[in-house]
Amino acid sequence: MGLVNWGRVITAMATPFDSQGQLDEPGVGLLVEHLFRTGSDGVVVCGTTGESPTLSKEERLRLFELTVRAARGRGPVIAGVGSYDTRESVALASVAAKAGVDGLLLVTPYYNKPSQEGLYRHFRTVADSTDLPVMLYNVPPRTGVNLEAATTLRLARDARNVVAVKEASGNLIQATEIVAGAPDGFLVYSGEDALVLPMLAVGAHGVVSVSAHVVGCDLAAMHAAFFSGNVAEAARLHARMLPVVRALFQPTTPSPVPLKAALRLLGLPGGSPRLPLVEATDRERDIVQQALASGGYLKV
């Protein structure tokens, strides 16, 4: 497979729901439009931020189709098809390919906590089942298992279409090991919005971001500043965005609950999260509102 260029800022897109908790199909198009207009180079659909564990196979297929249609070729649409069942991930990869997506995001299997050899075989099996390029997704706080640097590099070498990793371990040493050992063209993306600039400093290509729903233009500007050599400006933008990032990742509630509160404040489609997630409390919502307002992202 040739080199893949997915851009610097990829947004892990929320799934808009209507007042009845069903897919808000017009809202999907509006949200995709907002993201491409405010700094996103591409989107991930049906990832963790998209509440993928609560989506049926039929809903995922519809979301793939709607997002591809709304993107109109302006950037890659990467479909989240990972699960803790390898056979299910293979089946979802096939569904996503038929919907016309540009790539796949495969999260580390959660709950069953496979060994490193099990992780390798899982990812290799799914990757070998498709011609689409694959981004691995390592997020130990969510899954309970770490995809070690050695396993990521083994997959990058052995599987022709494993072309990137979203590294959300928060471990800069591990990220450095991946960057240093990766084959040419393999892309490392930050999966931690609070660590984007440090990740770029150790060789990451970009970010798969939640906060890009709100601060996408500043994220894009930070990447442009960093890669043009203006590190001081990149650091200024990093600090400007940090309060919003902290508000969207509060210790009292999981993402994307604060994000959905932010979308509502900004008048963007999102709706309420699906159970077992519940809406932000008044205090959590106030924290989001204060961060957006003080950063100039919300007109009050």
For all residues of the chain together, what is the average pLDDT?
Answer: 97
* CB atoms near residue 173 (< 10 Å): 9
Residue 56: predicted pLDDT: 96
The strand pairing partners of 167, in sequence order, are 138, 190
Q: Distance (Å, rounded) from C-alpha 24 to C-alpha 18?
A: 5
Comparing CA positions, the residue from 41, 48, 116, 118 lying closest to residue 82 is: 48
Residue 103 above 70 pLDDT?
A: yes
Q: Distance (Å, rounded) from C-alpha 21 to C-alpha 54?
A: 11
Q: Which of these is catalytic: 110, 120, 166, 189?
A: 166
Residue 16: predicted pLDDT: 98
Instruction: Report pLDDT digits (tens) over 89-102.
Output: 999 999 999 999 99
> Is 260 among the catalytic positions?
no
Phi, psi angle pair for 103, to nearest 5°: -175, 175
> Is 57 among the catalytic positions?
no
Stated pTM of the model:
0.97
Residue 159 above 90 pLDDT?
A: yes
Q: Which domains does the chain have, with CATH numbers?
A: 9-232 (3.20.20.70)
Instruction: Report pLDDT digits (tens) over 237-293.
Output: 999 999 999 999 999 999 999 999 999 999 999 999 999 999 999 999 999 999 999
Residue 4 above 90 pLDDT?
A: no
Q: Which of these is catalytic: 110, 120, 137, 189?
A: 137
Residue 299: predicted pLDDT: 74
